[in-house]
Amino acid sequence: MLKEQQITFGNNLIAVGMPIVDREKGSSIQIGHNAILCSSDYSNPIGLNHRTVIRTLAEGAVIEIGDDVGISGASICAVSRVSIGNQVMLGVNVQISDTDFHPIKPENRRFNKNPLDVGKADTIIEDNVWVGANATVLKGVTIGRNSVIGAGSIVASSIPPNCIAAGVPAKVIKHLEGVE
């Protein structure tokens, strides 16, 4: 399935259940070595709301997923760029995007397909980050290496490395000691 869509992936990719991976023409999806895409209710102890979804939405969009990444029923969508580092864990039902999907301005919002009216900004998750269940990571955010995002959080602004952040919107609640 992935080879047919010209999606590149490293050695030892494991898919538990059938993920939804969809690449827009002229875009790219790259998945590193030893990644696991969980898309079955039995693949995670708390269950999934849906299968893992990895989807580019525009020509030129890029989704990069590093080595040793675990994904459980998460949705990752890009019109520009979503980059996920190495050793990242995405808890069940996490949502990550680099777009607002629809225009902010109210005129003809539902039917306006003009990409210039829809907000977008690269979203980056650095190495060794854990994003807890049901968290949402919005456009333009960088989550620094080694950080943890609490379950159910909405990450609307960047989070520094080596900390725990949680809430709506997510705020730093603790710095991790002895982490480099």
For residue 82, which of 108, 105, 56 has the smallest C-alpha distance?
Answer: 56
DSSP state of 176: P
The two structure tokens encoding residue 76: 């990752």
Q: What gap in Å lies between CA 47 and CA 43, rounded to an integer?
A: 7
Cα–Cα distances (Å) from 39 to 77, 101, 120, 157, 168, in that order, read 16, 24, 27, 28, 27
Catalytic, 50? Answer no
Query: Residue for token digits 């520094």?
Result: 160
**Which residue in 33, 50, 102, 175 is the catalytic one?**
102
DSSP state of 109: T
Q: How many CA atoms lie within 13 A of 94 on its CB side?
A: 28
Close Cβ partners of 3 (under 8 Å, ≥ 6 residues apart): none
Q: Are strands 163-166 and 171-175 parallel, antiparallel or unpaired?
A: antiparallel
Catalytic residues: 102
